[in-house]
Amino acid sequence: MELFLSEQPGPEPAVLFVHGFPFDGRMWEPQVEALRGRVRLLIPDLPGFGRTPIRIRAPSIEGYASSLASLLDEMRIEEVALCGFSMGGYIALAFAALFPERLAGLILADTRVSEDSPEGKAGRTQSAARVLAEGPGFLADSMPDKLMAPPNLRTRPETVERVRRLIREQSREGVAAALLAMRDRPDRTGELPRIACPTLVLCGAEDSLSPPAEMRGMAEAIPGARFFEIPGAGHLSNLENPAEFNRLVSGFLAGG
Ligand code: MLT
């Protein structure tokens, strides 16, 4: 198997949780605790993250989506519900475009459908060069301030530390490759009306990276999609308010 996979048995359809940047499957621990035994859980580490080695020559968001499809092929799984957080959401949107027939449901959490601005792309190029030279320590230092709601930075030091640790543990090559893949991802706005599976769109109420107004617009463009803001959370809604995140995901997976 190309991807390291953490799996929990449960009823089908399986739910494939795709982590954000620069994390690995461990960012879903609060969801595993809540959903264990209730659905089949598939939680991979993307190429170059966690325990999956990097074997990418030309990193792309579509390449990550194809690696997920290959994982399902190897496991002989036809159809999944796919939950993607942030970069995982970019991958989930690419998966929806490439393999629509394999989706029983889609959960898009704290993500964006547009491409990066020219300044954003330049920043990704610089960060990729810096992470290759220095390792991901500077991201571990700077990212929590952008990822979490300001009150949580003060009141949830254990979450801040967990986030920093996860970032520090990633490989410089994997992080740099993902930065370039995100830099080069296309705008997928025109594809949203073609998403035909049940879709849930979630956003931390204080998410400044993928703001609620933008995510609401994304949900409005997907036929039948439902949108919810998660109170008391910034970008990392699944870690900052896991109770509400899990309640909404459980209800969606139960068909509610
Ligand atoms: C993430 O959480 O995956 C990142 O914020 C995505 C990004 O940098 O665009």
Strand order in the sheet with 5-8: 5-8, 41-44, 14-18, 80-85, 103-109, 199-204, 226-230
Q: Report the alpha-carbon distance of residue 136 to residue 105 in Å, rounded.
A: 33
| Residue 11 Cα to ligand 1 middle (Å) | 31
Q: Report the alpha-carbon distance of residue 180 to residue 27 in Å, rounded.
A: 22
pTM of the predicted protein model: 0.97
| Residue 256 pLDDT | 65
Q: Report the alpha-carbon distance of residue 95 to residue 192 in Å, rounded.
A: 12
Q: Report the alpha-carbon distance of residue 152 to residue 38 in Å, rounded.
A: 29
Does the pLDDT of residue 124 top 90, yes or no?
yes
| Residue 14 Cα to ligand 1 middle (Å) | 25
Task: Look at residues 24, 3, 19 and name the one whose alpha carbon lies nearest to residue 167.
Answer: 24
| Residue 87 Cα to ligand 1 middle (Å) | 5
Atom of ligand 1 nearest to the CA of 20: 3
My answer on whether omega of the bond before 223 falls inside 30° of 0, hence cis, is: no
- Is the CB of 182 inside a 6 Å radius of any atom of ligand 1? yes
Rounded to the nearest integer, the mean pLDDT of the chain is 97
- Is the CB of 49 inside a 6 Å radius of any atom of ligand 1? no
Mutational test site, ligand 1, from 113, 148, 209, max ligand atoms within 8 Å of CB: 209
Mutational test site, ligand 1, from 18, 19, 21, max ligand atoms within 8 Å of CB: 21
Atom of ligand 1 nearest to the CA of 182: 9
Residues whose CB falls within 8 Å of the CB of residue 143, separated by 6 or more in sequence, listed in order: 22, 163, 167
Q: Whose CA is nearest to atom 9 of ligand 1?
A: 87
Atom of ligand 1 nearest to the CA of 21: 3
What value does the mean pLDDT take over residues 44-59?
91
Residues whose CB falls within 8 Å of the CB of residue 69, separated by 6 or more in sequence, listed in order: 95, 98, 99, 102
What value does the mean pLDDT take over residues 83-90?
98
Q: How confident is the model at residue 176 (pLDDT cuts 50, 70, 90)?
A: very high
| Residue 57 pLDDT | 75
User: What are the start-end ranges of the E strands in 19-168?
Assistant: 41-44, 80-85, 103-109
Give the percent of the chain with pLDDT over 70.
99
Please name the residue that has the structure tokens 């859980």.
41
- Is the CB of 219 inside a 6 Å radius of any atom of ligand 1? no
Q: How confident is the model at residue 1 (pLDDT cuts 50, 70, 90)?
A: low
Question: Which two three-digit tokens encode residue 253?
Answer: 């997976």
Task: For 132-147, write each residue's pLDDT tens digit.
Answer: 999 999 999 999 999 9
- Is the CB of 54 inside a 6 Å radius of any atom of ligand 1? no
| Residue 43 pLDDT | 98
